[in-house]
Each structure stands twice: as C-alpha cells, then as structure tokens.
C-alpha cells in the first residue's frame, strides 16, 4: 500500500513588524478551517502553542530585519524551508521602520529609550532579500521643484 502523501508543512515567522500580515492569515474567516485541513500548520506561534521542528515545505515571513539576532535567524529559516515567501510591506520592502535608514539610529534609540545601550539593533531595517546587498538610498522627500 502506498503511504498517504504527507500534508505540506507550513511555518509562519515574525520579524520586526506590527503582526498585521500574520493577522491577514487569521482574517481568512470563512476559509480558515478548510484551509487548515489541507496543511500541517507546524510553526505559527501567534496562533498555536504546538511547534513541530523543521524542515518546512513553506515558510511565510513577516517583518523586516532590524537586529543582529534576526539577521542570523532569517538565514536559519531559509535553511529550514523548501520555499520562503515574504508577506507584506515590511518583509518585501523594509516597512515603516525602514525610515530609520535615513536617520541616525543611535539618536532614534536615545530619543525613545533612557538606556539605548541595552538595545541590540541594526542601523537599517531591510527587506528579507536585501540583507547582503548594499543599501540603496532613496531621497526621503522629493526635491522641491
């Protein structure tokens, strides 16, 4: 007897983000339960305590890379995943937090935190595929005509 084929194994990962893109998955209100039947949701901590270790057939990644730890973690996620798909503006383009790319992050940190030296943060917020590429600087505002 042939073994029944295994359901595809899905993982959902969060990086620097507002959680909204993960929420869009749970916003599949009419389809969620039917969809969940077709998949093995192996790692999705926003929705479940159950964790099945990788490898995963598909990883969905939310958020951008803003800390040294996350710069390592995204590489581990890549290694664990047959396919990795970015969801949303942060993972795809850097997101709102990429405004720091045009500013002095040390000054940002000192403005928000009394002890910024405790933070581990990168000077940039970058999209998932952009880690190893040089930063492209886009003018924040169009020059006055």
Radius of gyration of the chain, Cα coordinates, nearest whole angstrom: 18
Structure tokens at 109: 């940190």
Say which residues have a Cβ less than 8 Å from residue 6's Cβ, sequence separation at least 6: 40
109 is a contact residue toward other proteins (CB under 8 A): yes
For 131, residues 6+ apart whose C-beta sits below 8 A from its C-beta are 65, 71, 74
# residues contacting other proteins (CB under 8 A): 50
Q: Is 4 in the site for other proteins (CB under 8 A)?
A: no
By CB under 8 A, residue 12 contacts other proteins:
no
Q: Using CB under 8 A, which of 20, 55, 78, 123 touches other proteins?
A: 20
Residues of this chain, 22-61, that bind other proteins according to CB under 8 A: 22-24, 26-27, 29-30, 32-33, 36, 41, 44-51
Of 118, 115, 135, which Cα lies nearest the Cα of 126? 135
| Span interacting with other proteins, options 2-10, 66-74, 78-86, 131-139, rule CB under 8 A | 66-74
């Amino acid at each position: 007897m042939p073994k029944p084929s295994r359901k595809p194994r899905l993982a959902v990962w969060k990086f620097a983000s507002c959680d909204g893109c993960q929420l869009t998955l749970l916003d599949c209100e009419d389809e969620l339960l039917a969809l969940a039947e077709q998949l093995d949701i192996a790692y999705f901590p926003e929705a479940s305590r159950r964790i099945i270790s990788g490898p995963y057939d598909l990883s969905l990644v939310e958020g951008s890379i803003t800390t040294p730890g996350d710069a390592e973690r995204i590489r581990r996620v890549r290694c664990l995943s047959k396919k990795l798909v970015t969801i949303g503006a942060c993972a795809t383009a850097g997101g709102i937090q990429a405004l720091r790319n045009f500013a002095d992050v040390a000054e940002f940190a000192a403005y928000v935190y009394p002890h910024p030296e405790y933070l581990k943060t990168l000077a940039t917020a970058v999209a998932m595929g952009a880690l190893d590429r040089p930063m492209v600087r886009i003018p924040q505002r169009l020059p006055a005509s």
